[in-house]
Amino acid sequence: MRSTRNITTLVMALLAAFGLLFSDSLIKPTSAQRAEQRLVARAQQITGDVFRFYGRTPRGAHVVARVAPRSDVLGAIDNGLSDLFNIARRHGYRSRLEYSDYTVFIGRADRTKDSTGAYSPDIAVGAAQYAGSGYDQGGYVYAAGLVMAYNPNALVIAEHERDMQRVSNVVRYEGEHLVLFHNDRGLFGRTADHSRGGGHPILQ
């Protein structure tokens, strides 16, 4: 029994050392593992990154990243979710207002400055419904963040070296779509597509 425990401990230590052991991933049900694998595959398809870091913010939101994010980035994610939850509760919403309900992917930025030269880490994604609009950059648009899934709630943002308030804002703004999906389908339907106008914040 002791030798078995020692072997298990050694294996887990090696996995952790190589970045393969993350927040209780070894004890999740098989169905949850499959769901996470699909979500990660979707994120990799969108950003072109390989995600090797799985962890949580201090308040319990799930984070999946290309490289381990700094503590100030994790704190900024929590702050964005806190702002989101506070405004959602003021509107009488109750569903999906726990940090653990959210997964934030952090991918490599495809640009770090916007057309004016301002610091703006963004991800390039296919133009889709924004084709031909002012956002269209030739078949793609730059997004500060985007919703990836509504169940489980997942969004992706770009890596930031500074301006943590921007990280908080992006998490809060993309999170608005997720909160509305689970609490107010009417408003969700009217605000989910910004190609027809409108923007953030949706909830005042």
pLDDT of residue 196: 61
DSSP string, 23-89: TTGGGS-HHHHHHHHHHHHHHHHHH-----EEEE-TT--EEEESSPPPHHHHHHHHHHHHHHHHHHH
Structure tokens at 69: 């994010």
The yes-or-no verdict on residue 3 having pLDDT over 50 is no
The yes-or-no verdict on residue 187 having pLDDT over 90 is yes
Sheet holding 111-113, edge to edge: 111-113, 119-126, 140-143
Q: Are 66 and 51 in contact (CB under 8 A)?
A: yes
pLDDT (average), residues 71-88: 98
- pLDDT band at 35; cut points 50, 70, 90: low
Q: Are 153 and 102 in contact (CB under 8 A)?
A: yes
What is each CA distance from 9 to 6, 12, 29, in whole angstroms?
A: 5, 5, 21
Pairing of strands 145-150, 153-158: antiparallel
pLDDT in tens, 131-181: 445 454 545 567 789 999 999 999 999 999 999 999 999 999 999 999 999
Phi, psi of 144, rounded to the nearest 5 degrees:
-65, -30
CA gap 44, 112 in Å, rounded: 20
The yes-or-no verdict on residue 65 having pLDDT over 90 is yes
The yes-or-no verdict on residue 85 having pLDDT over 50 is yes
The yes-or-no verdict on residue 1 having pLDDT over 70 is no
The yes-or-no verdict on residue 24 having pLDDT over 70 is no
Amino acid at site 105: F
Instruction: Classify burial at 62, counting beta carbons within 10 Å of its beta carbon; exposed 0-12, middle 13-18, buried 19 or more.
Output: buried
